[in-house]
């Protein structure tokens, strides 16, 4: 195992990938070392992924490296250790941990309570990723739907967007979110307005459809018609 860990940290890209999947074959015994390496990898990418460009004003999603691939391949035995990383002092590490738990899918069930707590993290990337991962796990309890409904009012538009997308996944079970999604139809972000409408469509109850239709009829019928371009 130690030889593979050494390659994971210092090898070429192809060698690191091979080492990651080799380490995954060890299963649970490899998790502590992989978690420590994943943390190192995450912190090493801060400068690169926080870089802002005209096309990407908020930087890139915190990047997971080869150790994360190994943990995802291990699956459920890694969920508890990844959940513990959601309380790391560095928000970057917390965001990566939330993202990697999403790669486990339903195997990350153990982490659901901690992910729900992470929905209130002080950094929007962590909140955004926690919500996305809860949607990937796909167990929509009444408590989670209440949390997601509350997240539709988050101060960050990316968190609101993911909350709407996950509520859409749960379908009619999210009927309690209808009124809040209706309010989101007036969101300042145009993409969020679309996802609010999409959420109402996917919920699909008569009330949701009525709100959606009223909104569509009240929408501007031709977005390119202006006082300078009447016809």
Where along the chain do the CATH 1.25.10.10 domains lie? 140-231
Model pLDDT for residues 115-173, shown as the tens digit of each residue: 999 999 999 999 999 999 999 999 999 999 999 999 999 999 999 999 999 999 999 99
Assigned fold of 140-231: 1.25.10
pLDDT band at 201 (very low <50, low <70, confident <90, very high): very high
For the chain, give the mean pLDDT.
90
How confident is the model at residue 57, as a pLDDT?
Answer: 63
Cβ atoms of 131 and 164 within 8 Å: the answer is no
Q: How far apart are CA 111 and CA 29, in angstroms?
A: 19
Q: Where do we find the tokens 């080492």? A: 19
Residue 64 has pLDDT above 80, yes or no: no
Q: How far is CA 45 from the centre of its chain?
A: 19
How confident is the model at residue 205, as a pLDDT?
Answer: 95
pTM value is 0.87
Q: How far apart are CA 136 and CA 203, in angstroms?
A: 18
**DSSP string over 13-74:** HHHHHHHHHHHHTT-GGGHHHHHHHHHHHHHHTHHHHT--BTTBTT-------HHHHHHHHH
Does the 1-138 domain belong in CATH 1.25.10? yes
Residue 185: how many CB atoms within 10 A of its CB? Answer: 21
Closest CA to 35 of 91, 107, 113, 101: 101
Model pLDDT for residues 92-118, shown as the tens digit of each residue: 999 999 999 999 999 999 999 999 999
pLDDT band at 30 (very low <50, low <70, confident <90, very high): very high
How confident is the model at residue 215, as a pLDDT?
Answer: 87
């Amino acid at each position: 195992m130690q030889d593979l860990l050494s390659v994971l940290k210092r090898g070429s890209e192809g060698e690191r990938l091979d080492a990651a999947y080799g380490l995954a074959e060890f299963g649970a015994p490899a998790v502590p070392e992989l978690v420590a390496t994943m943390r190192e990898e995450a912190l090493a990418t801060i400068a690169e992924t926080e870089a802002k460009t005209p096309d990407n004003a908020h930087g890139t999603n915190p990047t997971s490296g080869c150790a994360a691939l190994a943990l995802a391949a291990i699956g459920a035995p890694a969920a508890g250790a990844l959940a513990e990383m959601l309380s790391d002092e560095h928000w970057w590490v917390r965001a990566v941990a939330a993202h990697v738990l999403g790669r486990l899918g339903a195997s990350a069930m153990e982490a659901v309570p901690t992910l729900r707590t992470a929905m209130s993290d002080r950094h929007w990337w962590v909140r955004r990723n926690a919500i996305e991962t809860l949607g990937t796990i796909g167990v929509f309890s009444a408590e989670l739907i209440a949390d997601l409904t509350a997240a539709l009012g988050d101060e960050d538009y990316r968190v609101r967007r993911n909350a709407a997308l996950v509520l859409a996944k749960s379908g009619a079970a999210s009927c309690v979110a209808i009124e809040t999604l209706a309010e989101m139809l007036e969101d300042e972000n145009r993409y969020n307005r679309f996802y609010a409408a999409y959420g109402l469509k996917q919920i699909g109850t008569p009330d949701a459809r009525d709100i959606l239709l009223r909104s569509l009829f009240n929408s501007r019928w031709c977005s390119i018609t202006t006082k300078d371009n009447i016809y």
